[in-house]
Amino acid sequence: MKISKSVKQRNQNKRMKMKMNLKQSLSVLSLVFATIVIAQPIEGTLNWYNQDGQGMFTEKAYKFLKKNESKSVIVGVIDSGVDIEHEDLKGKIWVNEDEIPGNGIDDDKNGYVDDVHGWNFLGNEKGEHLNEARLEKTRILASLSRKFADVDSSSVANDEEFKLYLQVKAEVEAGRAQFEQYMGMLDKLPESAQNYIKSQMDFNLNVDFDDRSLIGDDPDDFTDVNYGNADVEGPDALHGTHVSGIIGAIRGNELGGDGVAENVKIMVLRAVPNGDEFDKDIALSVRYCVDNGAQVINMSFGKAYSPHQKEVYEAFKYADENGVLLVHAAGNDAKDIDVEPNYPTSMYSFQESPLDHFVTIGASTKNEGPEMVASFSNFGSRGVDVFAPGFEIYNAVPQSEYMNLQGTSMAAPMVAGAAAMLKSYFSALSMKEIKEILYSTSTKYPKVEGFAAKSVTGGVVNLFKAAKACKKLAKKK
């Protein structure tokens, strides 16, 4: 699921798992849809993330590097799709120079026809799109019900699959029960609330909803790769456009929030629906990014269950072996992911050693003191590596508009942008070296009780300090 929040939203919006009571949900939904029409940023939020104080000191870093030349860096964005014609992303979208647009031929022989700006794994050759999807627990329940629904429970009591079946069954039933009591009074609720409840009941928590046949592949067969289309925007590109804007929106044009990285190209992989993403789409998206030149990959999504963990891990390992940095949002459940994993993860149970190029990002705010950590952000002294701004972020949304969103979905592209910016100026440094510098130079807050234990580094990314450290290291090369 897309890991973002509307401004001041304290829990997940309609793209996130439900973790709050319905009254909270409805008030949040009203705010979600109200915010969409707000053209101006909330007071005090424009570019705060690039400033000094609680920000990443991005502007100070650019002043420090003003006499240095930079080279373009490709950043893969695996998300809901991107408005590639957005006014604030002009010149920032990756172009596959080896592909002739619209000729229906795989000119570069990479297996994808007309992939000029990336690929849409949530579409078919007819140009149709998958947008609504089930949660992974709902898919698991649908699959295991065929095996266990009519089985004598005593005969399979110790079966691990049966235990999983009972677990997801209880979770899905509890989720549906939460909404069913309101189905008879939908017409009395705000339209936004109606849409949210319908989406949960009709799609996210509906075991009978078919969320894959439109595409035409087998989502459990990772060798079945001939699917999708070249339309990387899709029907709902709000989340992916905002993420892309944070990474690389045009700087200094006064149109919206500035991107973190100036010399960057966004490679678009549409693989995140309004529901939980499919493991296969994520694995193939990562491999596409690596094979086509991305040096950083942003992954602002996550879910509670992952049925194909090894296949996803193998894709991550492929990126790791090729020196590509994977940047993942920690999630918005306000939970310790050292205890309750959020997938994908930096350390699977079967994994023997950590990957050198996988980072997990928590969300910080523009507030000082105890409120510096976003109330929704996941944390973990082992599972989260570093924090970055993810609160009240004003940036691009489709149709050349702008809005405030928040979530670890916004914090991850801050770091993806920071890594890309440093790589653009210090191409001789490896992404591993840049990652380690981002860690070691992060701003520490010893006076904020408990913050040091919420991540590996106990810090917030500081791009100015990182730039100085990179310059020092580069001189030794």
Strand partners, 74: 265
Residue 97, both tokens = 């120079």
Amino acid at 152: D
CB 349 within 8 A of CB 443: no
Low pLDDT (below 70) residues in the chain: 3-39
* Predicted TM-score (pTM) of this structure: 0.93
Tokens 């939460």, residue located: 178
pLDDT given at position 37: 39
Rounded distance between C-alpha atoms, residue 413 and residue 325, angstroms: 12
Amino acid at 319: A
Of 421, 422, 423, 394, the closest CA to residue 406 belongs to 394
pLDDT at 477: 83
Please report how many Cα atoms fall inside a 13 Å half-sphere around the Cα of residue 369, on the Cβ side: 0
Scanning 292-353, the segments in alpha helix (DSSP H) are 309-321
Q: Which pLDDT score, from 0 to 100, does residue 192 have?
A: 82
Phi, psi of 397 (to 5 degrees): -135, 165
**pLDDT score recorded for residue 2:** 77
Angle at 251 between CA 248 and CA 257, to 5 degrees: 75
Side chain identity at residue 29, one-letter code: L
**CA quadruple 139, 142, 146, 151: dihedral positive or negative?**
positive
Q: With contact defined as beta carbons under 8 Å apart, do 378 and 384 qualify?
A: yes
Question: Which phi and psi angles does 377 have, rounded to 5°?
Answer: -70, 135
What is the pLDDT at residue 34? Answer: 35
User: Tens digit of pLDDT for each residue in 434-472?
Assistant: 999 999 999 999 999 999 999 999 999 999 999 999 999
What's the pLDDT at 20? 39
* Domains assigned to the chain: 39-132+218-474 (3.40.50.200), 136-204 (no CATH)
Determine the 3-state secondary structure of 476 from DSSP. coil
454: left (phi over 0), alpha (psi -120 to 50) or beta: alpha
